[in-house]
Structure 1
Amino acid sequence: MDSNNHYVYMLECADGTYYTGYTNQLEKRLSLHQRGKGAKYTRGRSPVELVYKNAFRSKGEALKEEYRIKQLTRKQKEQLIREGNNAYEDATELSE
């Protein structure tokens, strides 16, 4: 993946909750989440599955989108995932 991209992503945790985050190195970040070394929220909630991602050209745009997604209700997040303009196949491929 292009290291110049800035990503907003959503994970579904083992307990069914969603975690939304930002990174500029998506594969590395997913690997950290899977190993329990990512965000405090995802520790103890693994395995996690990447259910949504979106790439942005600037960090500012990505952070605005991350904030917007975090304000959504669970139902709205599920709709965003279903619409999946960048829905993902299987997170295990990225976390190897």
Structure 2
Amino acid sequence: MDIHYVYILTNTNNTVLYIGRTKQLKERLNQHRNNNSKSFTGKYNVTKLVYFETTKYVNNSIKRERQLKKWNREWKISLINSLNPDWKDLSEYI
């Protein structure tokens, strides 16, 4: 059975939020960190993993990613704060 991730990245100042989904979170984080300056994450140096959740089914991860992208900034910040109030980089926990 596969695990699918929905995740939120931010920059070093915690000012920019990026929401994505993937099946291979470690590899995807490496891609974000090695991205060129033309991509959104590269342009804004969005490489710090501050939130992630898992699901068994790809359709659920697609639905959740779309839902989070529609949320206003305050809701996203509250979600992050609920599990990671210090906004630590969670990469080491994957």
Q: What letter corresponds to residue 9 of structure 1 in structure 2?
A: Y
Unaligned runs of 5+ in 1: none
Residue aligned with 1:50, SS: strand
Q: Take 2:48 and 2:19, find their aligned partners in 1: how far apart are those partners?
A: 12
Residue by residue, what CA displacement relative to the aligned partner does 1:9-56 show, whole Å, maximum 9, x if unpaired?
Answer: 00012462100001000000001101115x921122225210100000
Contact 2:16 2:46 in 1 (8 A): no
Q: Could you tell me which amino acid in structure 2 is paired with residue 55 of structure 1?
A: T
Over the aligned positions, Cα root-mean-square deviation in angstroms equals 2.7
Tell me which amino acid in the other structure corresponds to 1:13.
N
Residue 20 of structure 1 corresponds to which residue in structure 2?
19
Q: Return 12-21 or 74-83, whichever deviates more.
A: 12-21
The answer to whether the Cα contact below 8 Å between 2:9 and 2:49 also exists between their aligned partners in 1 is yes
Overall identity of the aligned pairs, in %: 30
Q: Which amino acid counterpart does residue 90 of structure 1 have in structure 2?
A: D
How many residues are matched?
Answer: 90
Counterparts of 1:4-83 in structure 2 under 5 Å? 4-14=2-12, 16-36=15-35, 40-46=39-45, 48-83=47-82
SS in 2 for 1:79: helix
What is the distance in 2 between the residues matched to 1:65 and 1:92?
Answer: 20
Q: Which runs of 5+ in 2 are unaligned?
A: none
| TM-score, length of structure 1 as denominator length | 0.79
